[in-house]
Structure 1
């Protein structure tokens, strides 16, 4: 399967004409009876060889990490980071393989962070929480810098999301280091960070509303990073999973999920719905359980939510048209709701 950025690359290389690219998009949209923009494409696999290579890379990186850790704790992380960069020079920069590129990016930034964490543990593993928060913020900031360097070299779309997540960790660490009591308010802090990442995702999204370039791929991963920060923080502040929730709290959860659905339809991104799915399932289970259907409450909850999501998927485009219509001028800055991508 080829992504929008692959098609753009073929146009830039002169392999196909812009008219041919538009005709291809229109043809696929017609077959699926949905606009190409609504498909929310991102490239994960270019073929089964991606899986084969990824397994080999994972085995190699695990071996390198274990061998390095025998020498010293920080050496394992550094060895992973260096190995991941060298492998990316071939599999990412030359071969442009999707899944291996994602794996190598995560291994690189993870290796950079692990190197510094290992060094910190070896120097003094018994530092105070406040000092650890400050050092953690520094580690996260350097990790974000490493992600930026990787982006400049390889431009893997997920890299921006990794860097953004590292910056949220940096801000969180700095707040806790400055105000130790803030660790008890971790969820509001993460929520603010998630909203900032969401705003960044929208900036990338609105720069390519037809989702024909790499910018749309970057936005996809940013939304995927922001969604759990937002959903998890909101629902944890409501006390979900802490104790048996009442019907009132469950109704609030369902109401918030409807708000998330409205936002997802408006921006044409599904990450928020996926990230909050476990919470709405639990809320529906609590409501049905309180009604007396104890034995079948889980099954009925799954049936209702699953049916609702399938209905939403089947009627995504007409429902999205109605949502965008309510937004007035703002709707014009969102991905188009036309039936086809026009040449």
Structure 2
């Protein structure tokens, strides 16, 4: 499978002309009876070698971290980050392998953050004492997250792996949440406050994802891949806090009114997903709507088959939505103001030369 980034690279290398690439896209769209933008394509693997290399890289990174840990806790993270960067010089920059690149980005970010955690584990007591203030530790956590975000920015400038922007955004979100908690203070900040902060951060990342999406409405460049990972990050940060504040995550049975509210929110998520042509919100909220429907069927007496009926209803609905996604999306976008609709991903891919990445 060839991604949009691969086609762009072929044009940059003058292997294919922009006109040939545009014709190829339109042919694929006509065969699939859907515009290429509606496919929400992203490259994960190019072959089994991606899986093979990823497994080998993970084994090596674990070994490096283990050896570093035996010397000094901070060296585990430093070693993992340095090794991940070195491997990326070949497997990402030269071989352009998708899955190994994703693994190496995540390992690099985790290594940078882990090195600071390891330093605190070893020397934190000497620096902050036996019982440091919660606000102090929140500020330290914010600083660590900010350093991690800066490191991912350098990684992005070097390798341009789409998921890197999402990793950096997650680190920045962690920085903001930690700083607010430090300002609020208290030995145990309320869970609802934390969830509210995560929701606000998720909405911010969602807005950033839409900015990237708006810059490539026909999804022909790397910018669309960046937006995909940002949406994948933002979706659970939006869905989980909302349902937590509704009491769905408390582990107890919820009432019929709350269950209906959950279903209504899921329908709203579906309309948003159709409008922006991204399915991450639907996937992130799926567990909650399954739980809510199960509760409703149980309330109305279908105790023995409540799980089966829930799976049947949700499975059928999602398959129908997938089959008629383009038609449903055209209807939803048609109800939106023209100015807003023009900012959303195109419902029909135009025939045009490939843009610059």
1:177 aligns with 2:182: yes
1:112 aligns with 2:105: no
* Aligned partner (choices 324, 345, 356) of residue 335 of structure 1: 345
Aligned to 1:63: 63
Aligned CA RMSD, in angstroms, stands at 1.1
1:121 CA displacement: 1.6
Equivalent residues in 2 for 1:76-87, closer than 5 Å: 76-87=76-87
- SS in structure 2 opposite 1:183? coil
Aligned to 1:252: 261
Determine the C-alpha separation between the residues in 1 that align with 2:189 and 2:51.
Answer: 40
CA contact (8 A) 2:243 2:249 kept: no
Aligned to 1:227: 235
CA deviation profile, 1:84-129 (whole Å, cap 9, x unmatched): 0000000000101000000000000000000001111222355332
Determine the C-alpha separation between the residues in 1 that align with 2:99 and 2:159.
Answer: 14
CA contact (8 A) 1:35 1:341 kept: no
Equivalent residues in 2 for 1:7-26, closer than 5 Å: 7-26=7-26
1:199 aligns with 2:207: yes
Determine the C-alpha separation between the residues in 2 that align with 1:50 and 1:341.
Answer: 33
Determine the C-alpha separation between the residues in 2 that align with 1:70 and 1:128.
Answer: 30
Aligned to 1:268: 277
Aligned to 1:158: 163
CA deviation profile, 1:273-319 (whole Å, cap 9, x unmatched): 01111001101111011111112111111111111100110010000
TM-score, reference length from structure 1: 0.98
Extract unaligned runs of 5+ from structure 2: 353-357
- SS in structure 1 opposite 2:189? helix
Determine the C-alpha separation between the residues in 2 that align with 1:164 and 1:241.
Answer: 25
Determine the C-alpha separation between the residues in 2 that align with 1:333 and 1:143.
Answer: 32
Displacement over 6 Å in runs of 4+: none
CA contact (8 A) 2:109 2:152 kept: yes
Aligned to 1:209: 217
* Aligned partner (choices 295, 316, 336) of residue 307 of structure 1: 316
CA deviation profile, 1:64-101 (whole Å, cap 9, x unmatched): 11111111111111110000000000000010100000
CA deviation profile, 1:14-62 (whole Å, cap 9, x unmatched): 1111111011101111111111000001110111100000000010011
CA contact (8 A) 2:215 2:223 kept: yes
1:45 aligns with 2:49: no
CA contact (8 A) 1:25 1:341 kept: no
* Aligned partner (choices 139, 142, 145) of residue 144 of structure 2: 139
Aligned to 1:218: 226
CA contact (8 A) 1:161 1:221 kept: yes
Extract unaligned runs of 5+ from structure 1: none
Determine the C-alpha separation between the residues in 2 that align with 1:183 and 1:9.
Answer: 49
1:190 aligns with 2:195: no
CA deviation profile, 1:209-266 (whole Å, cap 9, x unmatched): 0110111110011111100100011111111131210010000000000110011000
CA deviation profile, 1:150-171 (whole Å, cap 9, x unmatched): 0010000000000001000000
1:13 CA displacement: 1.2
Determine the C-alpha separation between the residues in 2 that align with 1:302 and 1:70.
Answer: 48
CA contact (8 A) 1:133 1:177 kept: yes
- SS in structure 1 opposite 2:249? coil
Determine the C-alpha separation between the residues in 1 that align with 2:299 and 2:65.
Answer: 50
1:341 CA displacement: 4.1
Q: Kindly tell me the number of residue pairs found equivalent between the two proteins.
A: 342
1:293 aligns with 2:302: yes
Determine the C-alpha separation between the residues in 2 that align with 1:196 and 1:7.
Answer: 31
